């Protein structure tokens, strides 16, 4: 079976788009191959700044032949006096068989004539040539271009296409570019065109000879180059930065590294400013000593095999020096105006065109954070409302500073740094000022699953309040994330809220918090454009349930069915959901709970079938004189243990509550073995339905065990 190769070569693709495009290409091509009944082996993606590609091993050369049985007219129409009629002849001709080859088969409509037809499978090259152009044009890009045909778009102009089955070129065309067996090597280090002998391992060998490496090879080469360059400075090391490393891997095809220097006087600027300039604007790695202190050096990754004359190093040093001079000038200029004096400037900074200014947002966040602080305080946790109130007032003022205007990545961070530097109020002690500064500094945390949380309770509450206000405003306008579109990063902000609440164990209920956040917009000009309360509540509830599901499953690692079972009971209290998920995980291996899960499914089915037939349970179970022993035992279990289970649940002692529930297994099994629920006697039937309803309620106070898959692993 032949190997398949597809490579789309183009102008340089933005680094942030490469990985997603590579994954989508794999998804689209494997789905096409599978849908067309072509068997295949392993799939290996490959990408560089100038290409996305994939190889698939052992692809079927052609579809298998398929034999179908076509059903024609009934025998009464197909034959008259034992002879075929024009209807039979027409069916035989249409099916491509002789009239003598027709068969008679029995169908639900009676006896009919039929024909067995073998449909010959198409060649893989024909299928791929026909369908691949459409798949290439359907790849999603955050931004795409067209240059010949407006209906065929791609991220950058396509310059070449390689499409092969072993040595055979697949005759496909995309936007005027025909596939061939010729790729291209490194722009500067190769001769240009590279002939690919075959679609197998020869592809990677040919590119490697043309100074084009795969992603893992490029990362390994970058790490080696960074290590080697750093060793020239005693006691130094390059600062690990996974995000930056991923970026430079996707900016290069054959990387190397060069060590540069900058004037030590720039180290008087905050480290955050220097590192941001190096990382976000120049894609340089910072260099530090053994204690993590920044050194006056940097490492630049090059897309070439070195810098023997030092010209590239000198150019990078010159650019960085200019950037640092700008940063120092902005820092010094900003100090001439305090954050307090900048608060009124927020009246002229738009938050969102329908939601008003950052000054209005500041007031809303202060109000919301005061309410959140009171909840935390009443729960017995230590919090300083005054710190939160002052931090909330100053949190967005750095948006008016020259440094943030130039380096937008530093918003929040600069506010925190300036709050430490400036005397906010003569009556504010230094320790309080530092606490305010830390809360402002951490207001956007966490920005990803790997990011750290705000360091203080005040920072956590400010972060939640700011994010909740944004989500409430956008959802009120109906600006809800859909599919891959989330222009306001609302999913990321909601993920941050859920994670802070879970890991700081804060006593917040999501729906209540979001309703109060929405209330902050009352009386605003935007209110006339808001969706109604019911629609807002439903969309926010669904949105946060998805975010909590993501947190429990993808961040905390709970099994999907465990998460589904826990959230079916309640998805509003994050801390409680986490505690219940952990409790369910601990008991899930017990056979009692596997059996209870099956029982819950059975109970739900019985109650659903009764409802569909219009049969209602009684208000409560009643002991009848002729009630079977198994029925009485189950009712007695509920009466005896319901209060105990609820007492444990109220104290969040879910493990103890579940162990009590586990003792129900024998009585539940005995009930279903011996007792018929849907009997003819209406009174008995209604009473037993009420018993099952009560039992299901007790089982579902912690998790809906009917959602648990047998032999699930948490």
Task: Please give the full DSSP string across 190-212, using - where no structure is assigned.
Answer: S-SEEE---SSTHHHHHHHHTT-
Handedness of CA 68, 73, 79, 85 (dihedral sign): negative
Per the document, the length of the chain is 714
**Distance between CA 606 and CA 689 in Å, rounded?**
8
pLDDT at 259 over 70: yes
Phi, psi of 177 (to 5 degrees): -105, 120
Q: Which whole-number Å values give the CA distances from 322 to 259, 266, 315, in the listed order?
A: 18, 11, 11
Find the mean pLDDT for residues 74-92: 89
Q: Give percent above pLDDT 90 in the chain.
A: 66
CB 345, CB 401: distance < 8 Å: no
SS3 content of the chain, % helix, strand, coil (to 5): 55, 15, 30
Place of tokens 């106070």: 701
Contact partners, residue 312, CB within 8 Å, separation at least 6: 258, 300, 302, 304
Per the omega criterion (within 30 degrees of 0), is the bond before 446 cis? yes
pLDDT bracket for residue 49 (50, 70, 90): very high
| 54 sits in which H/E element | strand 51-56
Pick from 265-269, 382-386, 510-514, 660-664: least confident: 660-664
Structural contact between residues 459 and 439, judged by C-beta atoms closer than 8 angstroms: yes
Instruction: Supply 686's token pair.
Output: 């209604």
- CA dist 663 and 592 (Å) reads 8
DSSP letter at 509 equals B
Lowest mean pLDDT among 208-222, 230-244, 636-650: 636-650
- Of the candidates 360, 391, 546, the residue with the CA atom closest to the CA atom of residue 455: 391
Q: Compute the distance between CA of residue 359 and CA of residue 365 in angstroms, rounded to an integer.
A: 10
**Does residue 297 have a pLDDT over 80?**
yes
Maximum mean pLDDT: which of 79-88, 393-402, 419-428: 393-402
Q: Where are the alpha helices (DSSP H) in 36-174?
A: 75-78, 86-95, 124-137
Q: Inform me whether the pLDDT recorded for 588 exceeds 90.
A: no
b (16+ CB within 10 A) / e for 451-484: eebbebbbbbbbbbbbbbbbbbbbbbbebbbeee
User: On the CB side of 575, how many CA atoms lie within 13 Å of its CA?
Assistant: 12
8 A C-beta contact, residue 699 and residue 712? no
**pLDDT tens-digit map of 617-628:** 888 887 776 788
Helices (H), 14-123: 15-35, 75-78, 86-95
The whole-number pLDDT of residue 713 equals 42
Evaluate whether 501 touches 573 at the Cβ level (below 8 Å). Answer: no
The neighbour count for residue 354, using CB atoms within 10 Å, is 17
Per-residue pLDDT band for 693 (boundaries 50, 70, 90) equals confident
Provide the pLDDT for residue 710: 56
For residues 115-137, give the mean pLDDT: 90
pLDDT of residue 625: 67
The rounded distance, in Å, linking the Cα atoms of 199 and 166 is: 5
Encode pLDDT of 321-350 as tens digits: 999 999 999 999 999 999 999 999 999 999
Among 130, 87, 141, 133, CA closest to 112: 87
Choice among 261-265, 422-426, 459-463, 502-506 with the minimum mean pLDDT: 422-426
Q: Note the pLDDT of residue 582.
A: 93
Structural domains of the chain sorted by starting position, each given as residue range(s) with its CATH number in brackets: 4-62+123-209 (no CATH), 66-119 (no CATH), 215-334 (no CATH), 347-557 (1.10.3210), 580-707 (1.10.730.10)
Closest CA to 175 of 144, 204, 205, 200: 144
Characterize the bridge pairing of strands 177-180 and 158-165: parallel
**Binning pLDDT at 50, 70 and 90, where does residue 704 land?**
confident
For the chain, percent of residues with pLDDT exceeding 70:
99
* Cα–Cα dist 187/273, whole Å: 34
Find how far residue 219's CA is from the centre of its chain. 24
Assess contact for 121 and 62: CB atoms under 8 A: yes
Strand, helix or coil at 4? Answer: strand
Statement: residue 179 has pLDDT above 70: yes
At residue 51, φ and ψ (nearest 5 deg) are: -165, 150
Query: 203-207, 306-310, 452-456: lowest mean pLDDT where?
Result: 306-310
Averaged confidence pLDDT in the chain? 91
Q: Is the pLDDT of residue 712 over 60?
A: no
Pull the structure tokens for residue 369: 């954070």
Average pLDDT rounded to a whole number, residues 410-430: 87
Distance (Å, whole) CA 635 – CA 631: 6
């Amino acid at each position: 079976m032949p190997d398949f190769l597809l490579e789309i070569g183009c102008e340089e693709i933005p680094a942030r788009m490469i990985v997603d495009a590579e994954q989508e290409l794999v998804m689209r091509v494997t789905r096409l191959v599978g849908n067309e009944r072509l068997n295949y082996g392993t799939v290996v993606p490959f990408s560089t700044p100038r290409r996305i590609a994939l190889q698939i091993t052992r692809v079927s050369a052609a579809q298998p032949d398929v034999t179908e049985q076509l059903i024609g007219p009934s025998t009464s129409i197909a034959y008259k006096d034992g002879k075929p009629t024009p209807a039979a002849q027409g069916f035989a001709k249409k099916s491509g068989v002789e009239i003598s080859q027709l068969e008679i088969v029995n169908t639900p409509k009676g006896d009919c004539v039929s024909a067995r037809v073998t449909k010959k499978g198409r060649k893989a090259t024909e299928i791929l040539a026909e369908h691949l152009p459409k798949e290439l044009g359907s790849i999603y890009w955050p931004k795409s271009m067209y240059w010949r045909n407006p209906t065929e778009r791609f991220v950058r102009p396509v310059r070449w296409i390689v499409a092969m089955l072993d040595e055979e070129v697949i005759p496909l065309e995309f936007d005027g570019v025909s596939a061939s067996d010729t790729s291209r090597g490194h722009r500067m280090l190769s001769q240009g065109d590279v002939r690919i002998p075959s679609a197998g391992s020869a592809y990677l060998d040919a590119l490697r000879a043309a100074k084009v490496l795969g992603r893992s090879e490029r990362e390994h080469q970058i790490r080696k180059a960074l290590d080697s360059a750093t060793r020239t400075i005693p006691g130094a090391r390059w600062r690990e930065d996974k995000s930056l490393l991923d970026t430079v891997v996707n900016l290069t095809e054959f990387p190397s590294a060069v060590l540069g220097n900058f004037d030590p006087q720039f180290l008087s600027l905050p480290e955050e400013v220097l590192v941001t300039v190096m990382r976000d604007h120049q894609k340089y790695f910072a260099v530090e000593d053994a204690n993590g202190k920044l050194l006056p050096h940097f490492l630049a990754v090059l897309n070439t095999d070195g810098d023997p004359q030092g010209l590239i190093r000198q150019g990078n040093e010159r650019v960085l020096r200019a950037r640092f001079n700008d940063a120092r000038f902005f820092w010094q200029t900003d100090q001439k105006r305090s954050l307090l004096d900048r608060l009124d400037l927020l009246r002229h900074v738009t938050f969102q065109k329908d939601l008003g200014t950052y000054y209005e947002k500041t007031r809303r966040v202060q109000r919301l954070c005061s309410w959140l602080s009171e909840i935390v305080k009443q729960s017995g946790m230590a919090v300083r409302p005054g710190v939160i109130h002052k931090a909330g007032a100053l949190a967005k003022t750095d948006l008016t500073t020259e440094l943030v205007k130039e380096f937008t990545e530093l918003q929040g961070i600069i506010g925190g740094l300036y709050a430490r530097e400036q005397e906010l109020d003569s009556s504010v002690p230094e320790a309080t000022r530092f606490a305010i500064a830390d809360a402002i500094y951490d207001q956007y945390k966490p920005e990803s699953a790997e990011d750290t949380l705000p360091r203080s309770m005040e920072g956590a509450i400010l972060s939640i309040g700011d994010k909740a206000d944004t989500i409430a405003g956008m959802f009120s306008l109906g600006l809800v994330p859909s599919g891959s579109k989330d222009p306001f990063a609302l999913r990321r902000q909601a993920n941050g809220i859920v994670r802070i609440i879970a890991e700081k164990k804060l006593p917040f209920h999501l729906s209540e918090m979001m309703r109060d956040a929405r209330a902050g917009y009352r009386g605003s000009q935007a209110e006339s454009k808001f969706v109604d309360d019911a629609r807002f509540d439903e969309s926010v509830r669904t949105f946060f349930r998805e975010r909590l599901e993501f947190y429990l499953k993808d961040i905390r690692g709970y099994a999907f069915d465990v998460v589904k079972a826990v959230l079916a009971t309640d998805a509003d209290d994050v801390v409680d959901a986490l505690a219940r998920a952990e409790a369910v995980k601990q008991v899930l291996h017990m056979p009692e709970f596997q059996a209870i899960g099956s029982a819950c499914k059975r109970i739900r089915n019985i109650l659903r079938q009764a409802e569909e037939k219009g049969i209602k349970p009684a208000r409560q179970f009643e002991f009848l004189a002729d009630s079977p022993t198994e029925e009485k035992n189950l009712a007695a279990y509920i009466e005896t243990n319901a209060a105990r289970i609820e007492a444990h649940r109220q104290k969040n002692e879910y493990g103890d509550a579940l162990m009590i529930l586990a003792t129900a297994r024998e009585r539940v099994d005995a009930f279903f073995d011996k007792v018929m629920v849907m009997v003819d006697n209406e009174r008995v039937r209604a009473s037993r339905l009420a018993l099952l309803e009560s039992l299901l309620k007790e089982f579902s106070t912690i998790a809906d065990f009917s959602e648990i898959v047998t032999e699930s692993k948490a």
